[in-house]
Homo-oligomer: A and B are copies of this chain.
C-alpha cells in the first residue's frame, strides 16, 4: 500500500503536455497561460460521503466522475468552456492506493470529455470518511457568461430535460450540459441560467431573487422523469413534487425572451416577486422543499 507521494508520482506521470500549461502538476502551484482577452471563470464544489454519495454503494470511479461533473455542470450554467481543474481528496485512512487512483480516474474520465486537464490538487488521509473537492476554471471562449441575475419580467422559463427522482441513480451518472449551454447562449442568448442541483423550486428562486422578478410555473408543463414516478410509488409525494423539489437533475434552467426549440417551456417571469405554480385554476406559492445543508 503506497503513501501520498506514490499517489502524487502516479498523478504526475499521467500529465500530458499542453501548450497553455506552463507549469503542470507537481509544483507549489500550476501556471497557465491565460488566453488574452478571455474572462477567467472559477468555482469550487465538494462531495462528501453520506451526503452526495454513499461510499458503501458507489464505486470510487463513479464518485470521482460525479465530483468532476458537478463542476462541469457549473460551466454549463454559465455557458463557458472548461479550461482546467484542481482537486482535493481527504481519503479514509487505509483505503489504499488503488481506491485513490480510481477516484482520480473517475475525475479524469469526466474532464477528458471536455478536454479539461487536471492541473493540481492536494491529498490527505484521515480516520474519517471521504471528502472530495473540485475547483473548475473556465474561459468564456467568445461567449459572454450567462449569470443568474439577468432575467426580466415577461420572459419564458425553460428546462432542458425531465426532472425528479435522480436519487434512484441519475445523481451519480449525469452528463453535464456544457455543449447545450454554449449552444443556447450562442443561438438564443438566455437572460439568466442555472444548473438544477438544489431542485427546481430552489434554483428558480436563485434566478428570481438575483434578477428581481417573480415567476409563474405551469404545473402541467413541468417535465416529469420516469424516476420521479418510480420514487412516487414508494413514498407519499407525487411525481410533480419530486420534479419540483428533488434536486441533482443537472439539467439547465433558463429564461429567454424568445421561444427555444428543443427546450421545455415551463412558465413565465413576472413583475411581482412571487414564485407561484398554477395547476388549472388553482395558483399557489411554490415554496422550496429541496435539500438544504443545516449548519
- Give chain B residues whose Cβ lies under 8 Å from the Cβ of A52: 124
CB of A12, distance to nearest CB on chain B (Å):
10
Confirm or deny: A223 has a beta carbon within 8 angstroms of a beta carbon on chain B: no
Given contacts A43-B86, A133-B44, contact A294 B1 (CB under 8 A): yes
Which residues of chain A in 114-173 are interfacial with respect to chain B, using CB atoms and an 8 Å cutoff? 119-129, 131, 133, 135-138, 140, 145, 147-149
Q: Do A36 and B36 touch across chains, with their CB atoms under 8 A apart? A: yes
Give 6 nearest A-B pairs by CB, closest first.
A29-B43, A28-B77, A4-B293, A29-B41, A135-B135, A28-B74
How many angstroms from the CA of A44 to the CA of B90 in the assembled complex? 13
How many angstroms from the CA of A27 to the CA of B41 in the assembled complex? 11
| Binding stretch for chain B, among A91-99, A265-273, A278-286 | A91-99
23 A-B contacts (beta carbon < 8 Å): A1-B295, A3-B293, A4-B294, A23-B41, A26-B210, A27-B148, A28-B77, A29-B77, A29-B136, A30-B42, A34-B38, A34-B39, A34-B40, A42-B135, A44-B120, A44-B122, A44-B133, A46-B124, A48-B90, A48-B131, A49-B126, A88-B133, A91-B295
Q: Which of B27, B136, B294 is within 8 Å of A94, CB to CB?
A: B294
Confirm or deny: A31 has a beta carbon within 8 angstroms of a beta carbon on chain B: yes
Q: Do B120 and A42 touch across chains, with their CB atoms under 8 A apart? A: yes
Contact with B along A44-59 (1 / 0, CB 8 A): 1110111110000000
CB of A107, distance to nearest CB on chain B (Å):
13
Nearest B residue (CB) for A123: B293
Which of A3, A88, A137 is packed against the most chain B CB atoms within 10 Å?
A: A88
